[in-house]
Amino acid sequence: SMGNMCMVMFGYDMIHITVFQPDKSRSEYCDEIPATGRTIMAFDIENPAFRDLPLELRIIRDPLTPVLPTGEKELDALTELHLPAKKYSKGTFSVEHNFANNGHYIGLVTLTRESGQQETAQFKFMVG
């Protein structure tokens, strides 16, 4: 199944991602979401140690440039959805978003280690 493909990696640790559009179908999606509209993304944190670390999620419209902007202002201009960093002690979280436009998107998941060091992993997907 596509389920194994759908993840972000931090070293050898993974966070699984499952995408649903409950109003349209019972199917699970990954990097190709068939249509705009209400979309639920569920995140499953494999490593129990990560449940004590803050995770931040940002979904941006893919600028389709070789290098992603890093400035807060540039990122904000592209941002579709932003969940500030928090700890998910149950090891799962989900987010609901209404995608209004077809196109290319990038999900950025940022993990803050105990040392304060931040690592960002990304997953790309298309809507429509």
Instruction: Report the CATH number at residue 64.
Output: 2.60.40.2550
d(CA 85, CA 54) in angstroms, rounded, equals 5
For residue 47, give its domain range: 2-127
Tens of each residue's pLDDT in the chain, 128 residues:
444 569 999 999 999 999 999 999 999 999 999 999 999 999 999 999 999 999 999 999 999 888 888 788 999 999 999 999 999 999 999 999 999 999 999 999 999 999 999 999 999 999 99
For the whole model, what pTM was predicted?
0.92
Residue type (1 letter), 94: S
Residue indicated by tokens 């419209």? 61
Considering its fold, how many domains does the chain have in total? Answer: 1
Question: What pLDDT shows up at residue 51?
Answer: 95
Contact 20, 2 (CB under 8 A): no
Question: What pLDDT shows up at residue 2?
Answer: 46
d(CA 124, CA 36) in angstroms, rounded, equals 16
Question: What pLDDT shows up at residue 91?
Answer: 97
Question: What pLDDT shows up at residue 119?
Answer: 96
